[in-house]
Each structure stands twice: as structure tokens, then as C-alpha cells.
């Protein structure tokens, strides 16, 4: 559940843009504990439009590669979460914070894991146990190969980005925006 309604956010942003009051005074006027949230709403509104302040019908899903690209961009350029979110068209900058934490704790592979706690009915437990037992040495090696391929691909992209950040971002800019709308499996 969101703390503030879409109409409220839009009203406060428009009042700020009219120029009568600054961030701090508007936050005090409407009982917003910190002006930081208001600053974020204004930036998102200016960059992505009023629809960016609206609650999404369906939760957006991002590919592992997209998440890695965002984290790499932040590290390379020193951008804040808000700046990176605006650059990549992500409406909620705290999403990047979650990705960063997950990446720090479990690496790139953990960015692709589904969120939440899976149900553990007896049927699921048995299926998981049999899948683990049935994984042959060949399958384990194939899995390891796939992870290594992903890592090599990531490192190549990182190197290309480090050599020419502006050129890399310009070349891949359109892809980022189209990837953010596609659900990942």
C-alpha cells in the first residue's frame, strides 16, 4: 500500500512547479516528514511525466542484464539511485537499492531469483528433492557453463562501458527503455 495517493502527489508536485513554495515548506504544509520524497516526485514528474506518479496496474519486471547495467552505470558514473532511475526510466529509485543489496549478498545469479517465499507443499518438497537428485554431472556442468557465459558477457559489456561510457549508453539507450517494459522469467 502506498503512503500517498496519486492525486496527492500530483497536486503537491504541481504546487511546487507553480513556484509559490519550496520543497521544505511544501513538505511542512502537507505533513510530509521529509522533503526528499517530494524532490523525488518532482524529478520523476519532470523526466517521465504524470503517469510515472501513478500506481502501476502490473508490477514491472526487469531482466538480470538490465539490473546489472543499471548497477554498473551507477558505479561507473557515481550517479545516485534517483539519477540512475531517471536515466533508465525506473519510476521507483528504491528498486535499485534492493537490486544492489541482492547483488552484494548473492552476486549476479541472485538478481534473477523470484521474490518472496515459495510455497512448500509436500508435493513441492518432493519435486525439489527429486530434481536435485536427478541433476546429473553433465547438467551441473551445463549450468556452470551457462553462468560462466553470463559472467563473461557481463564483463565484456562492463569493459565496453568503461572504455566509452557515453557511446555505450547512447548505443544501448533504446534497448533499456524497451527492456523495462518486458516481463522477465
The whole-model pTM stands at: 0.45
d(CA 134, CA 1): 42
How far out from the chain centre does Cα 2 lie?
18
Q: Where are the domains of the chain?
A: 6-53, 64-179
Handedness of CA 74, 80, 81, 85 (dihedral sign): negative
Q: What is the pLDDT along the chain (185 residues), one digit of tens a residue?
A: 357 787 888 888 888 888 878 888 888 888 888 888 888 888 888 877 777 776 666 667 788 888 889 999 998 999 888 888 878 888 778 888 888 888 888 888 888 776 666 666 666 666 666 666 677 888 889 989 999 999 998 898 888 888 888 887 777 665 555 555 555 44
Return the DSSP state at 87.
H
DSSP per residue, 152-166: HHHHHHHHHHHH-HH
d(CA 58, CA 99): 19
Amino acid at each position: 500500500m502506498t503512503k500517498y495517493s496519486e492525486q496527492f502527489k500530483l497536486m503537491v508536485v504541481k504546487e511546487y512547479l507553480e513556484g509559490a513554495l519550496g520543497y521544505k515548506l511544501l513538505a511542512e504544509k502537507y505533513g510530509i516528514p521529509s522533503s526528499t520524497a517530494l524532490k523525488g516526485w518532482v524529478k520523476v514528474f519532470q523526466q517521465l511525466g504524470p503517469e510515472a506518479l501513478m500506481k502501476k496496474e502490473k508490477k514491472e519486471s526487469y531482466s538480470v542484464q538490465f539490473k546489472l547495467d543499471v548497477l554498473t552505470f551507477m558505479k561507473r558514473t557515481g550517479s545516485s539511485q534517483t539519477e540512475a532511475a531517471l536515466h533508465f526510466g525506473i519510476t521507483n529509485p528504491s528498486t535499485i537499492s534492493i537490486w544492489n543489496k541482492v547483488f552484494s549478498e548473492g552476486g549476479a545469479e541472485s538478481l534473477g531469483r523470484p521474490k518472496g517465499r515459495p510455497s512448500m507443499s509436500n508435493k513441492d518438497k518432493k519435486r525439489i528433492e527429486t530434481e536435485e537428485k536427478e541433476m546429473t554431472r553433465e547438467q551441473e556442468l551445463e549450468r556452470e557453463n551457462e553462468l560462466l557465459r553470463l559472467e563473461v558477457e557481463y564483463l565484456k559489456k562492463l569493459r565496453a562501458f568503461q572504455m566509452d561510457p557515453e557511446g555505450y549508453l547512447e548505443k544501448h539507450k533504446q534497448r533499456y527503455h524497451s527492456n523495462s517494459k518486458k516481463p522477465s522469467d
